[in-house]
Chain A
Amino acid sequence: MIDANVLPRVLHGTSRRPLTLVQHEEAFASHERVTSIFDELEASGLTGRGGAAFPTARKVRLLREQHGRSKYVVVNAMEGEPASHKEVSLLASNPHLVLDGAEYLAAMIGAERIDVCVARDNPAAINHLNQAIHERERSTKREAQIQLHTPPKRYVAGEESALVHWLNDNESLPQYRSTRPTVLKIGRAPALVDNAETCANVGLIGRYGARWFRGLGTQQSPGTALVSVTGALAHPTVLEVALGTPLRMILAAASADSDPQALLLGGYGGSWLGAAHLDVAYDNEALNPLGAAVGAGVIVVLPRRGCGILETQRVVRWMANESARQCGPCAFGLPALSSDLAQLTRVMGDTTAAHQRLIERCDSIDGRGACHHPDGVVRLVRSALRVFGPDLDQHINRRPCAGSTSPTHYVPVPSLEREEELQWQ
């Protein structure tokens, strides 16, 4: 039994070796049985931890109302964000908690099959899951059949429609949905797609109930969240924090630079937040008015000696390359944003025009893709123009900051793959 106000919850145990099924049942033993798990889920106020923070109970309700011979639960542990390591940490400590949650979800919507998706170049997580699934098969009767899938590691492959598309046709490409929310389907079977961390929290709610779950976090954002902290710190780390914890405390807990220039919050489709807001609580109610969000639980610390424009350009260039190139505004717009930003970082660049084009192109690209990939990049660029204002003026006046010529970078960006080498199948 874990107490309601004790951290960590989903990262309980050691990260060196995942809990076995026996250890898991012991660690998360529950004295009282939850009577109606769906009621508890609704009362818990759990929101999706994959980025969109959509209320999980509403999604489950939508899937419950679907008729169909069979349904699927899809556990999304793709972790496409290069700065995020939360899924790896979670699966390296409590894979059974994630599977518990998936089984609760399956029971709630009446699904017979559970598909767990991990990017294929993540051997550690794949191992942990294989072992956990194997242990479960040997132990008791299982109501749902659990299967592991390994789609390619692309940024958009973890987008829910791309994931379902992969399960259908082995292609990790997002699909167009004319209305939202839409029920995604595998074959003719409705599929509930939830992030692995969300599933782990469902696993806890199923054992301990909504009251327990609300023992940490705030009224509007109850529970905990996994945060991957990277950037200007010696050891990138994954922390489990109660939602509503001040950002300053999270940075201290990660032994990060306590006087940064800015933080990149949410992920590579997230927002920059200036250092003036370090005392803000880490939850969407506090962050949204500042144009930021918890998102996928990423915090990248940019030190004062770094250049925000350059870091943004590096991220945007990578994100442009990760576009599935299905929609014109994304395929052509993101490289254009990247080259505009590159102009700004050059001493001889056409900076005034590039700045003007950036603003216009952001407006023209926003909301015009089949998925939200281009919208995320637009959000990031807009936040950079807002947060790095004084620095930006220097760049526009062709006096780029010292950071923009330094070879040291802070935001972890994978090396670019050539377009013809990008794997989608």
Chain B
Amino acid sequence: MAVRRRTGGFVLKVNPILCDGYGHCHELAPELVEMDEWGYPIIVSTPTPYTNLAALESARYAVRGCPRQALRIERVVDQTSPGA
């Protein structure tokens, strides 16, 4: 399978209106999502390079595992990642 080189980075974005604080994202992507005292996610705001495959996989798990479907992965375009 051809590996597509993806430049730049991604951030995980939460729709705070949809989010009900189930906390699954923190379980599935602990390196990207912290929890505040009320159980709502605090997401790392600096972009993670696409070359960090482990983090990308966690992010995808979090997106799929969210019971409220409140998460998505957003590409940050104007960011040149070190791995690109």
Residue of A with least CB distance to B74 = A178
Distance between Cα atoms of A401 and B7 in the complex (Å): 57
Report if A326-B36 is in contact (Cβ < 8 Å); known contacts: A178-B74, A364-B42, A368-B42.
no
Kindly provide the distance from the CB of A43 to the nearest chain B CB, expressed in whole angstroms: 29
Distance between Cα atoms of A370 and B19 in the complex (Å): 11
Find out whether the CB atom of B38 lies under 8 angstroms from the CB atom of A328.
Answer: yes
Between B16, B19, B38, B39, the greatest number of chain A beta carbons within 10 A of the residue's beta carbon is seen for: B16
Distance between Cα atoms of A294 and B10 in the complex (Å): 35
Find out whether the CB atom of A176 lies under 8 angstroms from the CB atom of B40.
Answer: no
Decide yes or no whether B60 CB sits under 8 A from chain A: no
Kindly provide the distance from the CB of A362 to the nearest chain B CB, expressed in whole angstroms: 12
Find out whether the CB atom of A368 lies under 8 angstroms from the CB atom of B38.
Answer: no
Contacts of A178 in B (CB 8 A): 13, 15, 72, 74
Decide yes or no whether B78 CB sits under 8 A from chain A: no
Contacts of A237 in B (CB 8 A): none
Report if A333-B16 is in contact (Cβ < 8 Å); known contacts: A178-B74, A328-B21.
no
| From A326, A327, A330, A364, contact of B37 by CB (8 A) | A364
Decide yes or no whether B53 CB sits under 8 A from chain A: no
| From A176, A330, A333, A336, contact of B15 by CB (8 A) | A176
Residue of A with least CB distance to B13 = A178
Kindly provide the distance from the CB of B45 to the nearest chain A CB, expressed in whole angstroms: 8
Distance between Cα atoms of A105 and B83 in the complex (Å): 47
Kindly provide the distance from the CB of A164 to the nearest chain B CB, expressed in whole angstroms: 15
Distance between Cα atoms of A162 and B39 in the complex (Å): 26
Decide yes or no whether A269 CB sits under 8 A from chain B: no
Distance between Cα atoms of A375 and B36 in the complex (Å): 16
Find out whether the CB atom of B38 lies under 8 angstroms from the CB atom of A332.
Answer: yes
Contacts of A364 in B (CB 8 A): 36-37, 42
Report if A328-B15 is in contact (Cβ < 8 Å); known contacts: A333-B38, A364-B42.
no
Kindly provide the distance from the CB of B11 to the nearest chain A CB, expressed in whole angstroms: 11
Kindly provide the distance from the CB of A44 to the nearest chain B CB, expressed in whole angstroms: 30
Between B15, B20, B72, the greatest number of chain A beta carbons within 10 A of the residue's beta carbon is seen for: B15
Find out whether the CB atom of A176 lies under 8 angstroms from the CB atom of B42.
Answer: no
Contacts of B21 in A (CB 8 A): 328
Distance between Cα atoms of A342 and B63 in the complex (Å): 39
Distance between Cα atoms of A369 and B18 in the complex (Å): 11
Find out whether the CB atom of B37 lies under 8 angstroms from the CB atom of A176.
Answer: no
Contact with B along A307-332 (1 / 0, CB 8 A): 00000000000000000001111101
Find out whether the CB atom of A370 lies under 8 angstroms from the CB atom of B36.
Answer: no
Kindly provide the distance from the CB of A173 to the nearest chain B CB, expressed in whole angstroms: 8
Kindly provide the distance from the CB of A182 to the nearest chain B CB, expressed in whole angstroms: 13
Decide yes or no whether A175 CB sits under 8 A from chain B: yes
Find out whether the CB atom of B39 lies under 8 angstroms from the CB atom of A328.
Answer: yes
Distance between Cα atoms of A364 and B39 in the complex (Å): 12
Kindly provide the distance from the CB of B81 to the nearest chain A CB, expressed in whole angstroms: 21
Distance between Cα atoms of A364 and B41 in the complex (Å): 10
Distance between Cα atoms of A329 and B34 in the complex (Å): 13
Contacts of B20 in A (CB 8 A): 328
Residue of B with least CB distance to A175 = B17
Find out whether the CB atom of A368 lies under 8 angstroms from the CB atom of B15.
Answer: no
Kindly provide the distance from the CB of A114 to the nearest chain B CB, expressed in whole angstroms: 29
CB pairs A–B below 8 angstroms (6 shown): A178-B15, A327-B40, A328-B36, A329-B38, A364-B42, A370-B17
